[in-house]
Structure 1
Amino acid sequence: MERMDGADDPRVAFEARLSGLVGRRVLGVDYWDVHNFAPEPARWDYGSWHHAVMGVGLVTDAGPVAVTWTGTFYTYGVEVFDGPIEDHLALGEEGPERIGPGPASRWDRYLRTPIRGAAAYWERLEFRPGRRADGSVRPAHAVDVPMVVRLDFAAGAVWFVAAIPDPPDGQRVFGGGDEIMVVFSPEKMREMGFGDPAFGQ
């Protein structure tokens, strides 16, 4: 029998986890990237935005939170989970590693202050009919994917975007990617194509 409270609906569960962040204080932040085989440290700080790649671990006063990309709704979207980011990474000697942020970063103005609001930007992806590998026909369909999560603090908003920035400076961005960008600037959000007042304010 289908539950009527929405508990089995991934979107309802997503929104519940997101709204559960309101009131928490962020005490620390960790960015994760693939293992760095180069002699110089992996770059993550681009001024108005940071490149977390594999995801972000938030240390809060109510426990750890992971912000990463997943295929829950469709490949790829941003998602929020209770628990450490390490639970969502395949760790090993050459697995992902913490890359930042450093002791002083754009995060300093948000730390130890409560999250005042949390919201997600959902994008509807439309698919034409197609043929599956087994020869059957896949009907036209649409799917909603969370592309951005915004956390509001007294000092302003921070956006977590499932997107791949085109190096070297991320002037071009490919949305719906298997990387996480952390954006501190509404101008950068508008440059990336998020003109919705709630997400590029």
Structure 2
Amino acid sequence: MIAKPMMHKTSIDLNLETLKKCMPEQLQTQSVTAALLALGSNYQAEHYLSRVREDLAALGEIQLSTAFENPDFTSTEAQPKPDYTNQCVYLLLTVPISLQQLQQIFKDLEGECHRQRLTEAQTPIKKVTMDIDILLIRTALNKNSLSNKMSSKQIISEWLIMADRYPFKAHEEVGVEELISTKI
């Protein structure tokens, strides 16, 4: 198990049952203020997870769930595959950015970890250095887009579940619930 570092606490209150589920394609231009992420690696996981957590902390405040080692669900006795280390991360962004920009940042981080998607597709045993998936986002919607001087009462904040990631995998659900229960 990977130790989780102490991070700043930020309060959120989520009820997954009542949250709206949206396809990421519908939200590309939405301004994102926070995200709940799923990280995964089955190759040099401790190294790559540590590196990505550092990069994420540079984007804002982070809170980490416990890291879990899980078997690859496609593994068989005839074709064993390496276990994954998975961890959920709450990221409170310092500066809101669009979902499209956030997705690109995560693709770039995966690339910096030497993620080779083409090679993965061509081999039966995939070495995944880093996978970053967005599970939920918190959007900031302006009530009055004509005003440049907005008070916090004029900004509506809403948590949305990425419909293409729901229902969550067991380790994602455990990680998200852990983060919610600790009132990140």
TM-score by shorter chain over 0.5: no
More strand by share: 1
TM-score by length of 1: 0.29
For CA contacts below 8 A with separation 6 or more, give which structure has more relative contact order.
2
